[in-house]
Amino acid sequence: MRLPVEVRRVYDDPKGNATEYRVLVDRLWPRGVSKDALRLDGWAKDAAPSSDLRKWYGHDPERFEEFSRRYRTELRQSAPASAVKAIVAAAAKRSVLVVLTATKDVEHSGATVLADHLRSKVAKQR
């Protein structure tokens, strides 16, 4: 059985359910959300795009393809690769791995790139 990986906005789904493994994948805490209001199993800051890459990208959809390529390169580096490995291991016994982000444009976000990367790692585990 394959572990589904979903991307959701923290503002749309602050609680989720107990069968999900929920991990925040933004480097910065979401604005306007208290830590008590958001049910999390983890906060993977090290798996988020670097500050330099995030600033270069600026959420410009025209840069998304290059952002995605650069971010995938970052995910192969030591700290991000360790964070990804920890997420996959922790989520293994849950029904769904939920990648949470505060980003408005989820389709063109680092969370989407990371979710795709996690899907490939989960597929290798099972």
Structure tokens at 10: 């923290």
User: What are residue 22's phi and psi, to 5 degrees?
Assistant: -110, 120
Average pLDDT value over all residues in the chain: 94
In a domain, 45, yes or no: no
Q: How many domains does the chain have?
A: 1
Could you give the CA distance from residue 11 to residue 66 in angstroms, rounded to a whole number? 27
pLDDT at 73 over 90: yes
Q: Cα 123 to chain center, whole Å?
A: 17
Give 34-42's long-range contacts (Cβ < 8 A, gap of 24+): 38/10, 38/14, 38/100, 39/14, 39/15, 40/100, 41/90, 42/86, 42/87, 42/90
Q: What is the pLDDT of residue 62?
A: 97
The domain of 86 spans 5-32+50-125
In a domain, 64, yes or no: yes
In a domain, 111, yes or no: yes
In a domain, 39, yes or no: no
In a domain, 106, yes or no: yes
